[in-house]
Chain A
């Protein structure tokens, strides 16, 4: 499809000079195209760039009047205060569960949409992606007679194709205007959750087309001259399952942006419009300049970090997220070539802007957290991707669970940086192993005990385990990769609003750590069961049940894999009412001992589409761990037995992974025996390890195993050649080629495949036992 007219290029293929249009004719064509635009979709000219805009004439004029760095700093600090205040307002008053746990951010932008400053708390990626919709509004609505931009207006959008982390977030963007001219923007974005998608909660793992992704709001003027437009509000409320949430949080965002605007108005009165505009602009430019300088401090070279993701969230596959980062002087090039193709009927694809927003997250929170949070941080970094890969999805790909790809954009940068920055004498953040990067969390939806329709998620999303640092263990359940100071919420408060209990909450799972000299932060288990509701269901939206989601660093190991466990066909509340001793619940005990008669015990991968949860049925998952750092045999034995004593690791791990010998009754380390055991383990490594070339000759195969549903390059010598699994007929076949040559990838319905398999088995058995049955189609 042609998305916009301004990039239209005639495709006659005839380069005869007589076919060229005169200026006048070109003008007529342009005018005709402008007047007959069918549809203003996402604009590639806007959506495919992340660089800061050139200075406008007005910005040049303002800067020419002189810059006082101290005044710029003072303005920036005032803005930071206003943004933090607005952040607190959203957190305190927001109706969305995410808002209450800091899953939001507020920001100030230049007139052209470049982020100048973000609230100190909150999700950097949210605001870092909003230059796209601002540019869209400026390009399409500013001079559009039926829309226009006036003081007091506010724009709403949620569709990530127009620039958003994912469709569950909703923004409010408000222009700062003087004398009819837009001189800046302020904005607030909240992870709202429910958005009318095919499943409750706004992040549907079951989405099979963009129309399953829920609300598709391009930037629309929801607030006109200070008044909320009731007709559009009603449309938005009508489009989701939770109309009260929609109303409440649009008002919260209006209030928050109003508060930022109050400070902006006072600042402009105090320092003057020109100084204000100049300070916004130079902040963005200064960050860009500083990033170039910091890139130049890194050693020149190339670091490669490939990731393999094991699920479409409906079935297990293996899809690659390739990343090569090259530094040469002040240039940094991030190349994702080799990344697997988009899958056109699965939810895991991410728009390019969403992937880049999490690269900003890595840069601004894990590389250089001291920088002002600005578009200038990512702007000088060159990013190479191929459109129609799952990290750079096309317009027609579902993106309901785009975090599957965009979080990998974060991990690619966060993980590679340990190697990029290690030898640099000047560091701005610690050397750290990979952070956990999955959404190990329950989403939920249905009718509450208060009779309301809701759909959202648990705060446990925010309990990701931190990566081990080079000098200490990672912190347990510390923070999600996207928000350094997020909250896990108060479970009792949540239980007043939703009809389920967390029967086990925040208890660390033994051996759930990335082992290493310093271990990764651990993850805890969660066990939920609905209660007192006419209709309820749970979902999970995570990969990493067969292939560890994060590795370790410098010899450390990664996280384990994570199952979903369920016990259906029981009512745990009846069971513990009759026998309170059964309240001794853990995933390990429940699943291994199967203590509840009649229960249907199941484990599965962590892509669970909305599953009706009858009262008292158990759903169990565990939060993930961060990667470990360094050789396990260098871990202080005292740290090992401390974890052992606290039941954080098993005796098996203490002995066989960490090589520690201890006194079982007292947990006293036997130092000499430990030294001997570890020396033996090192010798064992040397005995079993093979010289690299010999190993490669034995291990490396031309292609992935035949039965593996694989997507992406194989190796790194020819990243442009992608492998994919294609279902041209019922049986999958492997195809190879450049992304433009691959067929469209659609995965067949797993239930259809299962029925086919069962039917084949029935026929086989009928034949075997001589039963003649006529099968009508």
Chain B
């Protein structure tokens, strides 16, 4: 049983591994930090957020100051998908952003009885169509929306 935990990460409850939803790359122990299985790049934020006013003339330009702010880009080593982009001061340890209780997760899904890849959704609303099945599977994609409409 695989549970979509983010847009690009599944937890395989059978193997207890973090898995790339795009290409099935194994990021490591689901009880640990998925980032340990990623490739990381220290991005100068000015490459992402270009200045609107002339940096030759002005200190403040719409572009972050690279001495204050870096963007850590976390990539899947196999397919190159950008899984996370974290804004941090230079030299600050990357945040361990998610740690899950796998036993409890398994209990909840066993009690639920459904296939997480089919029932996990983006929330209410008729436009909130979600297909969170593993993209690396050959099964035909399916789309579904939240059952409790109206918000």
Whether the Cβ atoms of A557 and B48 lie closer than 8 Å is yes
- Stretch of A571-579, A639-647, A701-709 on the interface side: A701-709
Residues in B neighbouring A604, C-beta threshold 8 A? 59-60
Contact B96 A716 (CB under 8 A): yes
Complex Cα distance, B78 from A669, in Å, reads: 27
Whether a CB of chain B sits under 8 angstroms from the CB of A686 is yes
Nearest Cβ distance between residue A756 and chain B, in whole angstroms? Answer: 20
Residue B54 CB within 8 A of the other chain = yes
Q: Please, how many angstroms separate the alpha-carbon atoms of A688 and B91 in the complex?
A: 18
A316 within 8 A of B: yes
Interface on chain A toward B: helix, strand, loop, or mixed SS? loop
Taking a contact as CB atoms under 8 Å apart, the answer to whether B64 and A546 are in contact is yes
A302-B99, A470-B130, A511-B49 known; A429+B124 contact, CB < 8 A: yes
B52 touches A690 (CB 8 A): no
Q: Is the Cβ of B97 less than 8 Å from the Cβ of A305?
A: yes
Q: A300-B105, A716-B95 are in contact. Are A316 and B83 (CB under 8 A)?
A: no
Per-residue 0/1 for A413-439: is the Cβ within 8 Å of any B Cβ (1 yes, 0 no)? 000000101111111111100000000
Contact between chains at A471 and B97 (CB < 8 Å): no
Assess the B93–A716 pair: CB atoms within 8 A: yes
Instruction: Give the docked Cα–Cα distance between A424 and B85 (Å).
Output: 23
Q: Which of A430, A634, A652, A689 contacts B77 (CB 8 A)?
A: A689
B40 to chain A, nearest CB (A): 4
B88: which A residues are within 8 A, CB to CB? 308
Q: Is the CB of B60 within 8 A of A633?
A: no
With A562-B62, A716-B96 as given contacts, are A685 and B73 in contact (CB-CB < 8 Å)? yes
A301 touches B54 (CB 8 A): no
Closest CB of chain A to B89's CB: distance in Å?
Answer: 6
> Judging by beta carbons under 8 Å apart, are B86 and A704 in contact?
no
Find the A residue at minimum CB distance from B86. A551
Is the CB–CB distance between A704 and B91 below 8 Å?
Answer: yes
Closest chain A residue to B104 by CB distance?
Answer: A300
Chain B's interface: helix, strand, loop or mixed, by majority? loop
A306 at the interface (CB under 8 A from B): yes
* B94 pairs with A592, CB closer than 8 A: no
The answer to whether A306 and B82 touch across the interface, beta carbons within 8 angstroms, is no
Q: B53: CB under 8 A from chain A?
A: yes
Contact in complex: A430, B40 (CB < 8 Å): no
A434 to B124, CA, bound (A): 18
- Chain B neighbourhood of A304, CB < 8 A: 95-98
B147 CB, nearest partner CB in chain A, Å? 9
B79 within 8 A of A: yes
A430: chain B residues within 8 A (beta carbon): 122-125, 128
Interface assignment of A86: CB less than 8 Å from any CB of chain B:
no
Q: CB of A650 within 8 A of chain B?
A: yes
Chain B hits for A162, CB < 8 A:
none
| B109: min CB distance to chain A, Å | 9
Residue from B7, B42, B63 in contact with A699 in the complex, judged by beta carbons closer than 8 Å? B42
Whether the pair B54, A591 counts as a contact (CB closer than 8 A) is yes
B67 touches A (CB below 8 Å): yes
**Is A545 on the interface with B (CB-CB < 8 A)?**
yes
Q: Does B14 contact A (CB under 8 A)?
A: no
Interface set, chain A 509-529, CB cutoff 8 A to B = 509-512, 515, 517
Do A557 and B85 touch (CB < 8 A)? yes
Within the complex, the shortest CB–CB distance from B129 to chain A, in Å, comes to 6
* In the complex, number of A-B residue pairs with CB atoms less than 8 Å apart: 289
Docked Cα-Cα span, A350 to B68, in Å, equals 23
* Interface residue? B41 (CB, 8 A): yes
State whether A300 touches B146 (Cβ < 8 A): no
Interface size on B, residues (CB 8 A): 85
Which residues of chain A have C-beta atoms less than 8 A from B80's C-beta?
A: 681-683, 685-686
Q: Given A563-B58, A708-B89, do A653 and B124 touch, yes or no (CB 8 Å)?
A: no
Please tell me if the beta carbons of A306 and B123 are within 8 angstroms of each other in the complex.
Answer: no
Q: Mark A268-310, 1 if CB is under 8 A from B, else 0.
A: 0000000000000000000000000000000111111110101
- Minimum C-beta distance from B24 to chain A (A): 16
B89 — which chain A residues lie within 8 A by C-beta?
A: 308, 318, 547, 704-705, 708, 710
> Which residues of A are found within 8 Å of B148, using beta-carbon distances?
426, 428
The answer to whether B50 touches A653 (Cβ under 8 A) is yes
Contact status B94-A603, CB under 8 Å: no
Write the nearest CB–CB distance from B39 to chain A, whole angstroms: 3
Which residues 522-575 of A sit at the B interface, judged by CB distance below 8 A?
Answer: 545-548, 551-558, 560-565
B31 CB to nearest chain A CB (Å): 10
Task: Point out the residues of chain A lying under 8 angstroms from B78, CB to CB.
Answer: 686
A387 on the interface (CB 8 Å rule)? Answer: no
Whether A588 pairs with B65 at a CB distance below 8 angstroms is: no
Residues of B within 8 A of A594 (CB): 57
Give the residues in chain B near A682, CB-CB below 8 Å: 79-81
Residue contact B151 to A554, C-beta cutoff 8 Å: no
Complex contact A561–B93 (CB within 8 A): no
A310–B68 Cα distance when bound, in Å, is 8
Which residues of the other chain, B, contact A710 by a CB distance below 8 angstroms? 89
User: Are A419 and B92 touching (Cβ within 8 A)?
Assistant: no
Contact partners of A703 in chain B: CB under 8 A: 91
Chain B residues with CB below 8 A from A148, complex form:
none
Q: Whole-angstrom distance from the CB of B41 to the nearest CB of chain A?
A: 5
Is A301 a contact of B99 with CB atoms below 8 Å?
yes
Which residues of chain B are within 8 angstroms of A552 by Cβ–Cβ distance? Answer: 85
Inter-subunit contact B64/A560 (CB<8 Å): yes
Interfacial chain B residues near A469, Cβ < 8 Å: 122, 128
Tell whether, in the assembled complex, residue A423 and residue B5 are in contact, meaning their CB atoms are under 8 Å apart. Answer: yes
How far is A717 from B94 in the complex, measured between Cα atoms in Å? Answer: 11
What string of 1s and 0s marks CB contacts (under 8 Å) between B95-122 and chain A? Answer: 1111111001100100010101001111
A622 to B53, CA, bound (A): 12
Closest to A424 in B: B120
- Given that A428-B151, A632-B82, A705-B67 are contacting pairs, would A471 and B101 also be in contact in the complex, using a CB cutoff of 8 Å? no
Cα(A642)–Cα(B101), bound, Å? 43
Q: Across the interface, name the chain B residue whose C-beta is closest to A620.
A: B53
Asked if B6 CB lies within 8 Å of chain A CBs, one says yes
**What residues of chain B lie closer than 8 Å to A565, measured between beta carbons?**
53, 58, 60
For the complex, is A451 an interface residue (Cβ under 8 Å from B)? Answer: no
Please give, as numbers and ranges, the residues of chain B lying within 8 Å of A424 by CB-CB distance. Answer: 120
Contacting residue for A690 out of B39, B60, B86, B124, CB 8 A: B39
Contact of B53 among A370, A554, A563 (CB under 8 A): A563
- Write out, one digit per residue, whether chain A residues 432-452 have a CB within 8 A of any chain B CB (1) or not (0): 000000000000000000000
Query: Does B50 contact A472, Cβ atoms closer than 8 Å?
Result: no
B146 touches A427 (CB 8 A): yes
Closest to B7 in A: A554
- Residues A695 and B8 in contact in the complex (CB < 8 Å), given A548-B64, A563-B60, A565-B53: no
Q: What B residues does A587 contact at CB under 8 A?
A: 52-53
Show 20 residue pairs from A and B whose CB-CB distance is below 8 angstroms, ordered by the A residue. Answer: A303-B97, A318-B68, A422-B4, A427-B123, A427-B146, A470-B123, A512-B52, A548-B64, A551-B87, A560-B49, A561-B62, A591-B54, A629-B7, A689-B75, A691-B39, A692-B39, A695-B41, A699-B42, A704-B89, A710-B89
Interface residues of B (CB under 8 A from A): 3-8, 11, 35-42, 45, 47-50, 52-54, 57-65, 67-69, 71-75, 77-101, 104-105, 108, 112, 114, 116, 119-125, 127-130, 146, 148, 151
Beyond the given pairs A470-B122, A692-B94, 5 more chain A to chain B contacts, judged by CB atoms under 8 angstroms and listed by A's residue number, are A304-B97, A470-B128, A470-B130, A547-B64, A603-B53
Closest 5 A-B residue pairs measured CB to CB? A689-B39, A682-B80, A701-B91, A563-B60, A301-B100
